[in-house]
Amino acid sequence: MAGAIIGDQITFRIGRSIGYRQFAWMRSGRAKKVLDFAARKLETSGALLIFTARYIPLGRVAVNLTAGATGYSYQRFTFFDVIGCITWGGYSVGIGAVAGNWLSDNKLLGVVLSVAIAWCWGSSSTGS
């Protein structure tokens, strides 16, 4: 959980330092509309976006960078991020405990299943 919080904070700070107005391609057309929409959604649904992004591979990076780049409140971001990371950590430990207990008599099957699930999850999140 601590690593997730630290990583999210770094990503938010990168977004804050880079911003999105300094690049010409981001100040016009579709990119501007998307970023303006994201800033509005963060203001109206920031808690939901930040909290649920923790559970979506690559989604958390996009939301955290956008939150920083659009000037979202650091205090609000941190509050919602910490709650999301704590619940995500508990959820992950819970899945590991249940799976470990369920597969305790067949460790090889546990390894094969975990590699297969990780491979499928990684492939679906990157579009490969």
Which pTM does this prediction carry?
Answer: 0.73
Q: Which residues, at least 6 apart from 37, have a Cβ–Cβ distance to it below 8 Å?
A: none
40-69 tens-digit pLDDT: 888 899 999 898 888 887 788 888 988 998
The whole-number pLDDT of residue 14 equals 92
Per-residue burial over 59-79, b if 16 or more Cβ lie within 10 Å, else e, is ebbebbbbbbbbebeeeebee
The confidence score (pLDDT) of residue 80 equals 94
End-to-end CA distance of the chain: 28
Compute CA 102 distance to the chain's CA centroid, rounded to the nearest angstrom.
28
Question: Any idea where the domains of the chain sit in the sequence?
Answer: 2-126
Q: In the predicted model, is pLDDT for residue 123 greater than 90?
A: no
For residue 49, the tally of other CB atoms under 10 A from its CB is 22
Read off the pLDDT of residues 3-29 as tens digits, 9 standing for 90 and up.
999 999 999 999 999 887 776 766 777
| Gyration radius of the chain's alpha carbons | 18
* % residues pLDDT > 70 (the chain): 88
Give the integer Cα–Cα distance in Å for 81 and 87: 10
